[in-house]
């Protein structure tokens, strides 16, 4: 509280202690104080802004000033002070509404009817204030004070009783009076009088007065700094009509619901309202100052400007001292939702029409978002990623469109002249001490498809920099440094009407010699600024993404939310059913933990023996694939094999469970189960939003499973960019919530209700209405049965019946028995049927949810479920019902921590045994013994991720979007980014068969994924994949473009580096096996591989330099030009290069390298590689 303004919240009473800070009333020996001067003129309201509450008026009823909810007006900023203003005290302070902040106004409650704020014809009003207007946009009207037009409920949006404003005309701020009459509707009801000269925006204080006698249009007067100035009725004409009178509030410094364009851009002090016309003489006395009176400037009346004519707001001026040392301060500013809707360029009172059509605003520098919603520091002036925004539940939400990123830091460049280089995807500008040095054009969305295909290499200004990505622009400016510290600022507008919120590559760099550019860093930065080469930029960008991921994790964390879940978990523990007794089993070698006791008991009963434990190498590979989705590195394998400690398996399990790989591996599972199905082009076929990002974050955070289910079911957050709201979408589905009800039921209750979508399920104990009731809960409203949902044309002998009728309304209601009223404190929004549904499903008094989840994990680790199928329990029986209950109890009593159950299973001997053919028999699930896990083939994702991990190669996929330029409608184009792990792939969506829409680099990877059972589109949930072998699987590994890349020893390949190392051949062969198969070779294998690699081994190294890197693909093919034949040609050229494969490393002798490649190929192809040991 001692170093900045007071933050005041609506309807919060001030703590008495605050009064301690209030400034003492000034006294003056030289003459009357300003306060005394003013009170002598008997204002009806007078706000001094030295303290928060003080209003020096005779009327006590409206004494309190209150800032709007959650936002700030600083009330302790300097106001007019001596010596220039001798009537003021040294401590005089003013209200600061600076910047583009939205909602920085002050509210005064209306005292009620017939108050001193109500004016009828014949009444006179005088409004007076000291103002410091720092800038003003053309055609903009900023509020000093006004009554009405607050957007408060119960009042018309245009109920302007009266207002004093400044209006921007020809760069000058002209005092302006406005009121709305009570007779005329629409435009005609507005009456605005504006002066024809005004004050020059800046740091000067000005004294402004307007007075008016209602009913007498000729009576209006305005005075600036004590001098009367002329004006004219410039809107709605002069009128003798009486003004609107109501009980809406008086707002200071803003209006129009807090819209930024009405916000006062500066400070206001000593605001007074009189019910008399102040005399010119008194006004002169009030305006007294020492020294020269600032000159006014003529401002011919301007018409209302179109948005293209509106002047941009200048960059924020920031002092060196405000900024952190050695860092770049990054701030994110947003429009509140309502303000976005209000930004129209028509005269503001008829913006309602625009509301419905365009909730997003155009990108423009003349209306800037002002709500600061994030702040963090970065190392340098370069961005490849920016934090996300999360709500209080920790799920991703959308920022306003557009939002502003403002990065500022203190830089100190040695004295001299520089060229500054700015690269940006969107509109961005760089300013040095407030002066714009370089600016990229604002984005204009466009829906074309036959534009010229740009060669980005030609668009790029500096050839040595990393390739300019499509849609990015570069500009340069001159910068002169005196060698002193200065503030450098990058502002960037991201997203907007019809533009996805993407930052792209954003950086500012400088050069002195005109050649070597370096990214600008702050004075005293910890990190060296990255050089601008592809490699360094990539490293920097990876580093930054990792840092941003950490910032995102912090932003998701919310102690209040965690406290709520802790409360629920405490309740869950207290209310859980008792755990089933663990069977007593002899503590022999077959038992490690209680899981094994359950298994052992049934084995014994069936006179069966458990299989032996697998060896360490097998264990590590299996556990890594099951936990992180990739095979061990050589170092991991070696270290594990060399470790002699008894608990090394348990330690490895703990280490792996803590790795972020857990999230990568399990995301694809939930994508399948929850039918995550985004499309990068025009949603069809049950497409959803990309809630994969939420799944991944939930797993990274290890969100408890009840919370996971609740967040999914409540479907909050961002729909298009990665929040669980994306789950709510089902394109081209006439009943999305029925589809979602089906998914929720199968995922969390193992109730397969698919059939009930159209008819009563013939093989399941469900009626159609059951599904529709859940669907209505998800809909949060009664659901109308559509005609399409009912099966028609049934044959006479059909087993199927239909109980619902088209048009019937189904109420939200849980159709099955519930565990009773929700436990206290569980439901936060009482009437929210989604929350209720989630609460019922996850209620610990009924353990079905916990059993289903535990069984799913069991199925993934052991190859079969305790109940199969895992998503449909209507007829299946459990093999170990007590074990399942026990696992469910463990889940419930351990805060629904999935990793806890995973840890129990992974540590069990049951998991760690050698797979036996007997364990793979097709039997009813009730008959399964789990003498060992079943053999499993790697999933598509495990395989692809492992192949890239072991070869050290980048995936090198295209960006998963047809609109890398970020110009097409977000409705039709998604951008899922450049995948780093297999789960990030999606359908490449070239149903149009257009060569220009092909993605040859991604396709070769998607082909492998598809061959191994990954679904490119997931219109329906699936809990288990088809794992049957087919010829395409080994074929794509043996002969595809991607296998060519994986087996070719290019300079980037990890096995090239391995082969270059000085070491005996036997050692090399051993390491190849360790890397590929996580085990050393058998003697026979070692002999065979050594024999192949031995000839020429000694002279394998040629001493040649690595091959020059492949030139980047620079043709900017995008949706905007894909029907231009050049786009097809460009993509085919890429395909050609991709097919040819990477350049073999010249560092290895080609004959020997060929044999080494063949060995790598064979190790990749053996079934041992693709099967989990």
Partner 1 sequence: MNLSRRQFIAQSALAASAAALGAPAFAEEAKSPLAKAEHCLFIWLGGGMSHLDTFDAKTTKGDGLKKPGCYYDTIETAIPGVRFCEHLPRLAKMAERLVPVRSVNHTVIDEHAAAVNRMHTGRPVSGSVVYPSIGSIVAHQRHAVADGVPPYVLIGYPSATRGPGFLGPKAGYVYLTDTAAGPAGLTRMPGITDTRQRRRESLLASLRSDYVSRNPGDRIVQDYDDAIGEVFKLQGGDFMKAFDLASEADSLRQTYGDEFGQRCMLARRLIQRGVRFVEVGFNLNFVNGAGWDTHNGAQKQQHALIQRLDQGVAALLTDLGNQRLLEKTVVVIATEFGRPAAFDAGGGRGHYGKCFTCVLAGGGLRTGQAIGTTDDLAMNIVEEPVAVHDLFATIFAAMGINPAKNLMDGERPVPITDKGQAIAKLFT
Site for partner 1 in 880-919 (CB under 8 A): 915, 917
Question: Residue 963 Cβ, how far from partner 1 at the closest point, in Å?
Answer: 16
CB nearer to partner 1: pick between 93 and 986:
986
Q: How many residues form the binding site for partner 1 (CB under 8 A)?
A: 106
Contacts to partner 1 from residues 985-1014, by CB under 8 A = 987-996, 998, 1003-1004, 1007, 1010-1011, 1013
Structure tokens at 330: 């990054």
Q: Considering the rule CB under 8 A, would residue 1094 count as an interface residue with partner 1?
A: no
Q: Binding residue for partner 1 (CB under 8 A) from 794, 809, 877, 1133?
A: 794
d(C-alpha 397, C-alpha 488), whole Å: 30
Stretch that binds partner 1, among 87-95, 416-424, 749-757, 885-893 (CB under 8 A): 749-757
Question: Residue 688 Cβ, how far from partner 1 at the closest point, in Å?
Answer: 12
Contacts to partner 1 from residues 653-682, by CB under 8 A = 681-682
Question: Residue 762 Cβ, how far from partner 1 at the closest point, in Å?
Answer: 7
Q: Considering the rule CB under 8 A, would residue 1128 count as an interface residue with partner 1?
A: yes
Q: Considering the rule CB under 8 A, would residue 741 count as an interface residue with partner 1?
A: no
Q: Considering the rule CB under 8 A, would residue 22 count as an interface residue with partner 1?
A: no
Q: Binding residue for partner 1 (CB under 8 A) from 586, 1029, 1104, 1133?
A: 1029
Question: Residue 1039 Cβ, how far from partner 1 at the closest point, in Å?
Answer: 5
Burial of 90 (0-12, 13-18, 19+ CB in 10 A): exposed
Burial of 123 (0-12, 13-18, 19+ CB in 10 A): middle
Q: Binding residue for partner 1 (CB under 8 A) from 533, 635, 798, 1099?
A: 798
Q: Binding residue for partner 1 (CB under 8 A) from 1030, 1095, 1099, 1112?
A: 1030
Q: Considering the rule CB under 8 A, would residue 525 count as an interface residue with partner 1?
A: no
d(C-alpha 553, C-alpha 570), whole Å: 24
Stretch that binds partner 1, among 72-80, 601-609, 727-735, 1059-1067 (CB under 8 A): 727-735
Contacts to partner 1 from residues 971-990, by CB under 8 A = 987-990
Stretch that binds partner 1, among 227-235, 459-467, 531-539, 1156-1164 (CB under 8 A): 1156-1164
CB nearer to partner 1: pick between 161 and 746:
746
Burial of 750 (0-12, 13-18, 19+ CB in 10 A): buried
8 Å CB contact between 1009 and 982: yes
CB nearer to partner 1: pick between 406 and 754:
754
Contacts to partner 1 from residues 542-581, by CB under 8 A = none
Question: Residue 925 Cβ, how far from partner 1 at the closest point, in Å?
Answer: 16
Q: Considering the rule CB under 8 A, would residue 1163 count as an interface residue with partner 1?
A: yes
CB nearer to partner 1: pick between 176 and 618:
618
Q: Considering the rule CB under 8 A, would residue 854 count as an interface residue with partner 1?
A: no
Tally helices (H) and strands (E) across the chain.
30, 35
DSSP-assigned letters across all residues of 292-310: PPPPPEE----PPPPTTTS
CA distances from 887 to 509, 673, 1110 (A): 57, 21, 53
Question: Residue 791 Cβ, how far from partner 1 at the closest point, in Å?
Answer: 6
Identify the residue whose tokens are 């360094």. 536
Structure tokens at 640: 């594990």
CB nearer to partner 1: pick between 441 and 806:
806
DSSP 8-class letter at 796: T
Question: Residue 502 Cβ, how far from partner 1 at the closest point, in Å?
Answer: 24
Q: Considering the rule CB under 8 A, would residue 1082 count as an interface residue with partner 1?
A: yes
d(C-alpha 832, C-alpha 759), whole Å: 28
Question: Residue 250 Cβ, how far from partner 1 at the closest point, in Å?
Answer: 52
Question: Residue 10 Cβ, how far from partner 1 at the closest point, in Å?
Answer: 46
The H or E element containing residue 1155 is: helix 1150-1165
8 Å CB contact between 1137 and 1110: yes
Stretch that binds partner 1, among 508-516, 531-539, 655-663, 1137-1145 (CB under 8 A): 1137-1145
Tell me which residue of 852, 805, 552, 598 sits closest to 696, measured CA to CA: 552
d(C-alpha 119, C-alpha 751), whole Å: 68
Contacts to partner 1 from residues 312-371, by CB under 8 A = none
The dihedral through the CA atoms of 482, 484, 486, 488 has a sign that is positive
The alpha-carbon radius of gyration of the chain (Å, integer) is: 35
**What residue ranges in 109-260 does DSSP mark as E strands?**
124-133, 141-147, 162-169, 172-180, 190-195, 197-198, 206-213, 221-224, 227-229, 231-235, 250-252
Q: Binding residue for partner 1 (CB under 8 A) from 745, 1036, 1050, 1147?
A: 1036
CB nearer to partner 1: pick between 56 and 1010:
1010
Write each residue from 1042 to 1071 as x if it is in contact with partner 1 (CB under 8 A), else as -, in one continuous string.
Answer: -xx---------------------------
Question: Residue 668 Cβ, how far from partner 1 at the closest point, in Å?
Answer: 17
Question: Residue 684 Cβ, how far from partner 1 at the closest point, in Å?
Answer: 5
Q: Binding residue for partner 1 (CB under 8 A) from 125, 490, 738, 778?
A: 738
CB nearer to partner 1: pick between 627 and 919:
919
Q: Which residues of 334-362 are buried (b: 16+ CB within 10 A; e: fewer)?
A: bbbebbbbbbbbeebbebeebeeeeebbb
CB atoms within 10 A of CB 128: 27
Q: Considering the rule CB under 8 A, would residue 2 count as an interface residue with partner 1?
A: no
d(C-alpha 594, C-alpha 885), whole Å: 13
Stretch that binds partner 1, among 84-92, 247-255, 430-438, 1161-1169 (CB under 8 A): 1161-1169
Q: Binding residue for partner 1 (CB under 8 A) from 84, 187, 587, 1158?
A: 1158
Q: Binding residue for partner 1 (CB under 8 A) from 605, 799, 924, 1067?
A: 799
Tell me which residue of 621, 613, 667, 633 sits closest to 1171, measured CA to CA: 621
CB nearer to partner 1: pick between 396 and 1018:
1018
Identify the residue whose tokens are 């209602």. 214
Identify the residue whose tokens are 């479907």. 715
Strand pairing report for 231-235 and 190-195: antiparallel
Q: Considering the rule CB under 8 A, would residue 802 count as an interface residue with partner 1?
A: no
Q: Considering the rule CB under 8 A, would residue 1032 count as an interface residue with partner 1?
A: yes
Tell me which residue of 266, 12, 38 sits closest to 135, measured CA to CA: 266
d(C-alpha 774, C-alpha 1106), whole Å: 62
Burial of 691 (0-12, 13-18, 19+ CB in 10 A): buried
Q: How far apart are the first and last CA of the chain?
A: 63
Residue positions counted in the chain = 1173
The H or E element containing residue 613 is: none
Q: Considering the rule CB under 8 A, would residue 950 count as an interface residue with partner 1?
A: no
Contacts to partner 1 from residues 1104-1123, by CB under 8 A = 1123
Q: Binding residue for partner 1 (CB under 8 A) from 185, 319, 1031, 1098?
A: 1031
Contacts to partner 1 from residues 751-780, by CB under 8 A = 754-755, 757-759, 762-763
Q: Binding residue for partner 1 (CB under 8 A) from 1026, 1103, 1105, 1111?
A: 1026
Q: Considering the rule CB under 8 A, would residue 800 count as an interface residue with partner 1?
A: yes
Tell me which residue of 385, 661, 699, 662 sits closest to 549, measured CA to CA: 385
d(C-alpha 405, C-alpha 661), whole Å: 31
CB nearer to partner 1: pick between 460 and 677:
677
Rounding to the nearest 10 degrees, give the CA dihedral for residues 144, 146, 149, 151.
70
**What residue ranges in 718-859 does DSSP mark as E strands?**
783-784, 809-810
């Amino acid at each position: 509280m001692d170093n900045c303004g007071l933050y005041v919240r609506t309807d919060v009473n001030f703590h008495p202690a605050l009064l301690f800070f209030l400034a003492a009333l000034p006294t003056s020996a030289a003459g009357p104080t300003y306060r005394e001067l003013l009170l002598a003129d008997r204002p009806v309201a007078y706000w001094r802004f030295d303290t928060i509450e003080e209003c020096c008026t005779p009327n006590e009823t409206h004494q309190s000033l209150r800032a709007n909810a959650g936002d700030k007006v600083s009330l302790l900023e300097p106001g007019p002070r001596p010596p220039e203003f001798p009537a003021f005290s040294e401590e005089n302070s003013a209200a600061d509404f600076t910047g583009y902040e939205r909602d920085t106004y002050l509210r005064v409650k209306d005292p009620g009817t017939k108050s001193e704020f109500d004016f009828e014809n014949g009444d006179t009003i005088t409004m007076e204030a000291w103002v410091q207007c720092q800038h003003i946009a053309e055609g903009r009207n900023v509020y000093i004070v006004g009554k009405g037009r607050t957007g408060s409920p119960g009042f018309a949006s245009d109920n302007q009783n009266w207002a004093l404003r400044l209006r921007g005309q020809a760069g000058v701020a002209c005092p302006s009076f406005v009121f709305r009459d009570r007779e005329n509707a629409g435009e005609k009801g507005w009456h605005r009088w504006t002066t024809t000269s005004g004050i020059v925006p800046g740091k000067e204080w000005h004294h402004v007065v307007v007075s008016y006698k209602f009913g007498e249009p000729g009576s209006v007067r305005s005075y600036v700094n004590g001098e009367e100035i002329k004006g004219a009725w410039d809107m709605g004409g002069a009128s003798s009509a009486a003004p609107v009178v109501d009980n809406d509030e008086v707002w200071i410094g803003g209006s129009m619901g807090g819209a930024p364009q009405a916000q006062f851009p500066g400070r206001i002090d000593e605001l007074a309202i009189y019910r008399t016309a102040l005399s010119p003489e008194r006004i002169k006395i009030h305006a007294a100052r020492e020294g020269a009176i600032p000159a006014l400037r003529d401002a011919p009346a301007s018409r209302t400007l179109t948005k293209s004519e509106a002047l941009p707001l200048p960059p924020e001026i920031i002092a060196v001292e405000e900024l952190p040392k050695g860092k770049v301060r990054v701030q994110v500013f947003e429009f509140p939702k309502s303000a976005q809707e209000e930004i129209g360029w028509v005269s503001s009172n008829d913006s309602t029409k625009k509301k419905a059509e365009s909730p997003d605003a155009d990108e423009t520098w003349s209306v800037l978002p002002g709500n600061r919603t994030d702040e963090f520091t970065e190392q340098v002036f370069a961005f490849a990623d920016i934090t996300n925004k999360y709500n209080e539940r920790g799920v991703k939400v959308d920022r306003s469109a557009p939002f502003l990123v403002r990065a500022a830091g203190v830089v100190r460049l040695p004295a001299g002249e520089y060229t500054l280089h700015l690269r940006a995807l969107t509109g961005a500008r760089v300013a040095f001490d407030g002066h714009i040095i370089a600016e990229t054009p604002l984005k204009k969305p466009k829906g074309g498809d036959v534009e010229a295909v740009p060669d980005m290499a030609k668009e790029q200004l500096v050839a040595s920099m990393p390739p300019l990505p499509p849609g990015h622009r570069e500009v340069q400016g001159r910068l002169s440094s005196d060698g002193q510290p200065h503030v450098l600022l990058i502002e960037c507008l991201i997203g907007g009407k019809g533009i996805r919120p993407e930052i792209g590559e954003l950086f500012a760099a400088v050069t002195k010699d005109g050649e070597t550019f370096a990214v600008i860093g702050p004075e005293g930065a910890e990190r060296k600024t990255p050089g601008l080469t592809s490699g360094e930029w990539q490293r920097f960008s990876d580093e930054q993404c990792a840092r941003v991921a950490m910032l995102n994790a912090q932003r998701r964390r919310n102690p209040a939310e965690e406290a709520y879940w802790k409360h629920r978990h405490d309740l869950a523990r207290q209310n859980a059913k008792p755990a089933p007794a663990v069977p007593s089993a002899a503590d022999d070698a077959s038992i490690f933990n209680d899981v094994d006791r359950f298994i052992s008991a049934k084995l014994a009963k069936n006179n069966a023996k458990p299989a032996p434990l697998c060896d360490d190498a097998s264990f590590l590979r299996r556990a890594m694939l099951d936990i992180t989705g990739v095979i061990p590195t050589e170092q991991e394998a070696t270290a594990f094999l060399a470790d002699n400690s008894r608990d090394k398996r348990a330690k490895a399990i703990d280490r792996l469970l803590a790795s972020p790989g857990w999230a990568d591996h399990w995301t694809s599972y939930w994508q399948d189960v929850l039918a995550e199905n985004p499309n990068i082009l025009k949603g069809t076929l049950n497409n959803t939003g990309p809630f994969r990002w939420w799944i991944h974050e939930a797993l990274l955070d290890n969100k408890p499973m009840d919370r996971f289910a609740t967040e999914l079911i409540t479907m909050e957050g961002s729909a298009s960019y990665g929040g669980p709201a994306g789950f709510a979408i089902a394109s081209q589905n006439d009943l999305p919530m029925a589809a979602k009800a089906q998914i929720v039921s199968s995922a969390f209750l193992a109730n397969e209700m698919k059939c009930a979508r159209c008819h009563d399920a013939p093989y399941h104990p469900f009626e159609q209405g059951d599904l529709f009731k859940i669907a209505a809960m998800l809909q949060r409203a009664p659901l109308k049965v559509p005609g399409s949902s009912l099966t028609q044309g049934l044959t006479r002998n059909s087993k199927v019946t239909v109980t619902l009728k088209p048009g019937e309304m189904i109420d939200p209601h849980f159709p099955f028995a519930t565990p009773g009223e929700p436990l206290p404190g569980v439901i936060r929004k009482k009437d929210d049927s989604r929350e209720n549904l989630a609460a019922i499903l996850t209620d610990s008094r009924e353990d079905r949810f916990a059993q289903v989840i535990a069984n799913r994990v069991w199925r993934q680790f052991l190859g079969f479920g305790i109940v199969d199928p895992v998503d449909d329990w209507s007829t299946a029986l459990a093999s170990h019902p007590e074990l399942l209950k026990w696992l469910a109890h463990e889940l419930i009593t351990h805060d629904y921590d999935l990793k806890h159950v995973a840890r129990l299973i992974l540590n069990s001997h049951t998991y760690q045994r050698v797979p036996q053919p007997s364990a793979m028999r097709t039997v009813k699930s009730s008959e399964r013994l789990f003498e060992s896990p079943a053999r499993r083939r790697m999933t598509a994702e495990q395989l692809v991720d492992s192949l890239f991990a072991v070869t050290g190669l980048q995936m090198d996929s295209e960006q998963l979007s047809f609109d890398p330029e970020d110009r097409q409608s977000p409705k039709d184009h998604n951008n899922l980014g450049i995948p780093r792990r297999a789960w990030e792939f999606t359908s490449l969506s070239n149903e149009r068969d257009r060569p220009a829409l092909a993605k040859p680099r991604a396709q070769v990877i998607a082909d492998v994924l598809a061959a191994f059972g990954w679904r490119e589109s997931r219109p329906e949930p699936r809990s288990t994949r088809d794992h049957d072998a087919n010829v395409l699987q080994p074929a794509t590994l043996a002969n595809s473009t991607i296998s060519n890349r994986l087996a070719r020893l290019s300079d980037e390949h990890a096995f090239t580096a391995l082969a270059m190392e000085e070491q005996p051949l036997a050692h090399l062969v051993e390491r190849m096996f360790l890397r590929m198969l996580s085990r050393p070779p058998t003697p026979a294998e070692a002999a065979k591989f050594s024999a192949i690699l031995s000839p020429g081994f000694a002279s394998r190294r040629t001493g040649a330099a690595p091959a020059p890197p492949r030139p980047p693909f620079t043709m900017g093919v995008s949706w905007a030009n894909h029907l231009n034949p050049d786009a097809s040609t460009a993509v085919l050229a890429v395909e050609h290069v991709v097919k040819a494969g990477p350049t073999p490393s010249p560092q290895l002798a080609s004959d020997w390298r060929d044999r080494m490649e063949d060995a790598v190929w064979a190790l990749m192809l053996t079934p041992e590689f693709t099967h989990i040991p």
